Structure 1
Amino acid sequence: MTRTPSSDTEPSDTGTAARRGPLGRVAVDTRPLRYPAYRRMWIGNGVSFIGFQVTAVAVPVQMDAITHQPAWNGYLGLAGLVPLVVFAIWGGAIADVLDRRRLILVGSLFTWGVTLTLLAQALLGLNSPVLLLVLTALQAVGFAVVSPTRGAIVPRLVPTGLVPSANTLNFTVSSVATVIGPLFAGAVLGTGHYAAAYGVDAVLFTVSLWASFRLPAMPPLGRQNRPDLRAVLSGLAFIAATPLLWLSFAADLTANVLAMPRALFPAVARMQFGGEGAAGWLYSAIAIGAVVGGLFSGWIGRIRRQGLALVGAVACWGLAVAAAGLAHSLWLAVLFLAAAGCADLVSSVYRQTILQLHAPDELRGRLQGVFTAVVAGGPRLGDVRAGLTAQAFGPTAAWTAGGLAATAVIVVLALVFPALRRYDGRGPAPASEDP
């Protein structure tokens, strides 16, 4: 495997948890942080993601304040979905033929510009729901280009044996940011200061730009193709020929399309839990559980029946989300959402690792593009579903029924397609494996 220059890496240490002592069997594995390029990226992404989460709360809360209609927050999900899917898949193809460091820089600068525009519209008091939809779509374009590229470079920054640990660290730090960002946003937005929220995002994003500038050059490896439709189709064909991959994508879509209650948070906070400040706790709750799960994630890399663990995690996610929808107390809802977040961390780590270790480097960008489209597009489809369902049947019905449906569907998938539940994590499944 090709890695970064020797000046930017340290000797490989892929020893077992036992050699790291008893605590190493439970606590999060921090060995990937010994590699400077990965460490800088981890810090930059973690800090900037706090600001991203502030904006992720500010936009729907501002939209709810302007329109007072849950369906508009569903439209926000739709506005981000189409550009995200298109540009994630195309951006992944570009990441396979261009220097990935350069692509991250260009996409990051574009995203930063969108954040500055959100700041400007808040300062000017435009209060335009259409403008928020447009800026959400543009933000999705930048995210769709940068995210698959960042995922594709992980196996080139750390040894293969540390890829699951690196992914766990990535999901954990993003979860920490998803706790801090919404809580801060809730405090700021309680006073109606949308510009302050967007300003925090703009400032914190500069740390990610610093980390991107410090990345080593990462030109493409292996055979290079033009980033055209044929290249995109070849990546999709690889997924279609590998049942484990498309089944992992199906598991993610099941969880997020059917059971993601995010679009309902502003309305539920306003109607049931006392106002906009409660929205921050609802947005943070899932991440709180993911942080706790991440801090005690030393066992994740040792599980061999990873397919079965993935199924169980998605089922637990759905049940916990359904329970949160029935809660009449804010803190009980937060507790159940935190349990859902812990389950989501487990499923996320296994899905990401399966993809990275099953994809050759020359296809990794394209497959990460599809992964990004699924992982980020699924919640947006979930926003559309939740918003429109809540408009017709009310927030509680939309929230609870979605969680129960997700649990039922993932169980059916596991029963119908043995490849998912039989995957044991000891090596790539053959492309011709019978699903």
Structure 2
Amino acid sequence: MPGVELLRRVALDVSPLRTSRDYRLVFSAAGVSGFGSFITYVTVPYQVYHLTGDPLLVGLIGVCELLPLLVMSFVGGALADFLDRRLLVFGGEIGLALLCGVLLVNSLGSQPQLWLLYVVAALTAALDGLRRPALEGMTPRLVVPDQIPAASALNSLRMQITQLAGPALAGVLIASVDLVWVYAVDLATFVVSLLCLAYMRAMPPPPAADRPSLRSVATGLRYARSRPELLGTYLVDINAMFFGMPQALYPFMAERMGGPAVLGLLYAAPAVGSMAATLSSGWTARVHRHGLMVVFAAGAWGLGIIGFGLVTNLWWALFFLAFAGAADMVSGLFRMTIWNQTIPDHLRGRLAGIEMLSYSTGPLLGQLRSGLMARTPLGIQGSIVSGGVLCVVGTVALAAALPAFLRYDARDGLAHKEAEDAAQAARVTTLAA
């Protein structure tokens, strides 16, 4: 029947979960841990807002996270190409659990220490930079190449579920119990993630792996710079998130629309749109102009943020955030597919570190930008709207400046990766001989 065939063509492909035991374990570990982490992700800015009432001080959380992330993503990328990626992720999870415990203890006091919130935010970013490249680098090792688009969509769905459920629960918890219990929920999730990772098989580095060093980091940077399709994914996303990421202003928008319970809805709304885009992502496997799709989606994200900034009604605000989230997910699906289908395995960890910078620094700096602009005569809503406009303008400018990115064809990228992997295998064989 035509309707059934249409559903089959657009439905989410779950074959990686059926065929790979270790992929199922990674999927579960990252999902449960991410759920708890998003609860804390909402709670820390709220706690700063509650203690200070200053949008700039809320935005400064992103500044504290930026420098550690910049440094440790390169370190984590180099280590992910040299060490067992499973052990690297396992160690990072232990460190994040300890930091969550610090937040819990700090919230027990009658006067929680503001400076400690910034320190924990910085250390959390550092640990995330250390473990995330290894986590991202696992996917090409756990599924066959033809399943990479499906695995990218599943990874996105996992993230969307955590983005939806974590912030929504955080809003309910913040409004109903002490913050110590909010942090306790996050701490409990690490038990599950550590058990899943412990049952995984080892994931040793590729043969003749480069030792972590400045030289190995520079090799990864030179490779990224030599590939216009990779540069395009980084620059377009950084532009979109820098100008169009107003999360530092969510507590202030929530105050106008209903209070702390609304805050969780604002954080969760983009995930609703993202989930809708992911569940209907089957069509993406038949699109080959990935660069063009990233540009279209980034522009649509900016339009959604403009809409969010213009409205005062809660339901319209949630609609525009969901629209923006769907657009961002379309961009993310094609960016992840470009990365996983074109980067050779011996460089995957280092390039994952660069990818992490591209999708993390933009939002972190965007929070600072939105907080600073909110203190000008533009105000809260003016900061959001102007950021969305600049996002669209910047996307158009980058599209004009990166014609090779717009022309990128996924079939050429996959063939390029296969050739580079074969060349690396030949070099390893020569060295062994």
TM range (shorter): over 0.9
Mapping for residues 75-224 of structure 1, pairs under 5 Å: 75-191=60-176, 193-224=178-209
How far 1:21 sits from its partner (Å)? 5.1
Instruction: Decide which of 331, 350, 363 is 1:366's aligned counterpart.
Output: 350
1:226 and 2:226 correspond: no
* One-letter amino acid of the structure 1 residue matched with residue 211 of structure 2: R
**Cα contact 1:222–1:361 (8 A) shared by 2:** no
Correspondence for 2:372: 388
Distance verdict in 2 for CA 1:125–1:92, change over 3 Å: farther
Moved more, 352-361 or 78-87: 352-361
CA RMSD across the alignment: 1.6
- Indicate the larger mover: 245-254 or 374-383: 374-383
Q: Which amino acid aligns with 2:103?
A: L
Q: Which residue of 2 aligns with 1:11?
A: none
For residues 251 and 222 of structure 1, what CA distance do their matches in structure 2 show? 34
- Which residue number corresponds to residue 258 of structure 2? 274
Structure 1 Cα separation of the partners of residues 264 and 44 of structure 2: 13
Q: Deviation string for 1:228-272 (max 9, x for gaps)?
A: 1111111000011111111110011011111011111011111x2
Tell me which amino acid in the other structure corresponds to 1:292: A
Name the residue aligned to 2:31.
46
> Which of residues 285, 290, 304 in structure 2 aligns to 1:306?
290
Tell me by how many angstroms 1:427 deviates. Answer: 2.5
Give the letter aligned to residue 182 of structure 1: P
Q: Give, in angstroms, the shift of residue 424 of structure 1.
A: 2.2
- Determine the structure 1 residue equivalent to 2:234: 249
| Superposition deviation, residue 274 in structure 1 | 2.2
Higher helix fraction (1 or 2)? 2
**CA deviation string 1:358-399 (max 9, x = no partner):** 211111000001111221222111111111111223111110
Cα separation, 2, equivalents of 1:131 and 1:223: 42
- 1:350 aligns with one of 319, 327, 334: 334
Identify the residue that residue 221 of structure 2 maps to in structure 1.
236
SS at match of 1:428: helix
How far apart in 2 are the matches of 1:411 and 1:193? 46
Q: Which amino acid aligns with 1:391?
A: R
Match of 1:216, SS?
coil
Give the secondary-structure state (helix, strand or coil) at the position aligned to 1:54. helix
What amino acid sits opposite 1:288 in the alignment? Answer: V
Unpaired segments of 5 or more residues in structure 1?
1-17
Q: Distance in 2 between matches of 1:73 and 1:100?
A: 34
Distance 2:324 2:406 in 1: 20
Counterparts of 1:44 and 1:22, CA distance in 2: 33
C-alpha distance in 2, partners of 1:266/1:192? 18
Instruction: Give the superposition deviation at 1:22.
Output: 4.2
Number of equivalenced pairs: 412
Q: CA deviation at 1:294?
A: 1.0
Quote the Cα distance in structure 2 between the aligned partners of 1:388 and 1:128: 23
Q: How far apart, in 1, do the equivalents of 2:116 and 2:317 lie?
A: 32
Q: Work out the CA distance in 2 between the residues paired with 1:214 and 1:72.
A: 41
| 8 Å Cα contact 1:289-1:339 kept in structure 2 | yes
Q: Which residue of 2 aligns with 1:411?
A: 396
Question: Structure 1 residue 127: deviation in Å?
Answer: 2.0
Could you tell me whether the CA contact under 8 Å between 2:290 and 2:338 is conserved in 1? no
Report SS of the residue matched to 2:88: helix
Q: Output one character per residue of 1:172-226: Cα deviation in whole Å (capped at 9) or x when no partner.
A: 1111111111111111111362111111111112221122112211111133222
> Which residue identity lines up with residue 225 of structure 1 in the other structure?
D
Percent of pairs identical after alignment? Answer: 37
Aligned counterpart, 1:23: 7
2:308 pairs with 1:324: yes
In structure 2, give the amino acid aligned to 1:41: V
* Distance in 2 of aligned mates of 1:260 and 1:222: 40
Q: In the aligned structure 2, how far is the partner of 1:36 from the partner of 1:55?
A: 29
Within the candidate set 42, 58, 72, 2:43 is matched to 58
Q: Distance in 1 between matches of 2:295 and 2:43?
A: 33
* Distance of 1:376 and 1:126 partners within structure 2: 31
The answer on whether the counterparts of 2:55 and 2:248 sit within 8 Å (CA) in structure 1 is yes
**TM-score, with structure 2 as normaliser:** 0.92
